[in-house]
Amino acid sequence: MRFDVITLFPELFAPFLEAGITRRAYAGGQIDLKLWNPRDYAEGNYRRVDDRPFGGGPGMVMMAEPLARCLAAVRAARADAPDGQAPVVLFSPVGQALRHAAVEGWAASRGAILVCGRYEGIDQRFIDAHVDMQISLGDFVLSGGEIAALALLDAVARLQPGVLGDAGSHQADSFNRALDGLLDCPHYTRPEEWAGQRAPAELLSGHHAQIERWRREQRLRLTARHRPDLITAARAAGRLAFEDEAYLRGLSGL
């Protein structure tokens, strides 16, 4: 798959491509990442890409024309690529919140053209003419879309075959369908006792069925406490067994 990123700061992506386990997705060619700077498509000696907003107000607004020219170059480059054309995605507070199900969809897709805004935003005419989808990471504002793009790329990269050391690692992640959309359970490692706290006896028992039941109950407990909406969704989808419901009824203080 191929992702093209339109950004005024392509240098922010270099460390991401060279460090961590997700670099395998790029080194191995599973994800082809191209970076495009709209300043290269701006006119004038100063390659200006922003201007003051009509109506006044603080800050600057990214101009539509340099972005449109940059996007045209991206589409031309993708025309002869194996993955062909792809949707144009803008990271914006008005977008839908990014969820694991959407990440799974992107991980199996042909990729996308990711637009990273800056300053006070992007001229709405470019958005109306060219953007197919808007995505948000949550109810907060970043300095630009680059961090959001990196978050999406990281989430997609770790789902590619062979990227994680254990092929089944991501199936035990929070929100995964293999866990019925619940949060993951707590994890422990050596030593068995640290700072006066011992690892749970169930995990040291060697009894696989007991271990799995403990993990399931911890997932239910954490999810019910911190994300009850996920319990509601799992229940509506018929993913909770009789013993799950019995355990949830026995929880106190939730």
State mean pLDDT over 170-189.
Answer: 83
Distance CA 204, CA 211 (A): 8
pTM of this structure: 0.91
* Mean of pLDDT over the chain: 94
pLDDT of residue 179: 75
> Is 53 a known active-site residue?
no
Q: Which of 32, 65, 83, 120 is catalytic?
A: 120
Q: At what angle do helices 242-250 and 208-226 cross, to 10 degrees?
A: 60
Task: Name which of 70, 95, 98 is nearest 7 in CA terms.
Answer: 70
> Is 158 a known active-site residue?
yes
Task: Tell me the per-residue pLDDT of 54-110, one tens digit each, with 9 for 90 and over.
Answer: 999 999 999 999 999 999 999 999 998 888 899 999 999 999 999 999 999 999 999
Distance CA 37, CA 8 (A): 5
> Is 120 a known active-site residue?
yes
Dihedral sign (CA 146, 14, 21, 31): positive
Q: Would you say 53 and 120 are in contact if contact means Cβ atoms under 8 Å apart?
A: yes
Q: Which of 2, 78, 118, 158 is catalytic?
A: 158
Q: Which long-range contacts (CB under 8 A, 24 or more apart) does 233-237 make?
A: 233/181, 234/180, 234/181, 234/182, 237/180, 237/181
Q: Which of 32, 83, 154, 173 is catalytic?
A: 173
Assign 49 to helix, strand or coil: coil
pLDDT of residue 14: 92
pLDDT of residue 168: 61
